[in-house]
Amino acid sequence: MKIKILALGEKMPKWVQEGYQEYQKRLSSSSIKLEMVELPIAKRGKNNNTQKLMAQEAKSILNKLSDNDYIVVLDPQGKMTSTEDLAVKIESWQQTQPNVALIIGGPDGIDTEIKKMAQEKISFSRMTFPHPIVRIVLVEQIYRSWTILQGHPYHK
């Protein structure tokens, strides 16, 4: 199974890249293949039209989605998801969805059109986190979920 993470925001700090690479490496011998796709955030100014900016970002997201991607949006208003819930989802996706696209929004969130396309909307928390941290938490949770499915003691 391939998990493609579409994340708005480019040129992340070195610690974010290293964190992602660490979990990608840990998963390299698994059946899960991770891919991070960084997308540009629309340029903001003093008089922003948030909807217009999010629609512009949605175009970038749409350009990176494939017809066979199972789309999952990370959204604070999505279904609250525990690590164990994510493990169950990953197990199900491995059996039914060869290509999963997980979408991390920009500063204003994710455009409504992308949310409508999503097969699932999940939330790790009702809190708002900096997007670089969300990337690390997401890949760590994918790894942790995989270890649960393998019966590995990492989760304990």
CATH number of the domain that residue 109 is part of: 3.40.1280.10
Residue 129, helix vs strand vs coil: coil
Is the Cβ–Cβ distance between 138 and 102 less than 8 Å? yes
At residue 68, the pLDDT reads 94
* pTM of the predicted protein model: 0.91
Q: Domain range spanning residue 62?
A: 2-155
- Coil, strand, or helix at residue 130? coil
Where does residue 138 rank: exposed (0-12), middle (13-18), buried (19+ CB within 10 A)? buried
- Please enumerate, as own/partner, the contacts of 15-21 that have beta carbons within 8 Å and a separation of 24 or more: 16/132, 16/135, 16/136, 19/135, 19/136, 19/139, 19/140, 20/135, 20/136, 20/139
- What pLDDT does residue 58 have? 94
- Number of domains comprising the chain: 1
- Beta-strand pair 33-39/99-104: unpaired
Burial class (CB in 10 A: 0-12, 13-18, 19+), 22: middle
pLDDT of residue 60: 94
pLDDT of residue 135: 92
The confidence score (pLDDT) of residue 155 equals 64
pLDDT at residue 45, as a whole number: 77
- What pLDDT, on a 0 to 100 scale, did the predictor assign at position 112? 93
Listed as ranges, residues in the chain with pLDDT below 50 are: none
Quote the radius of gyration of the chain (alpha carbons, Å).
Answer: 15
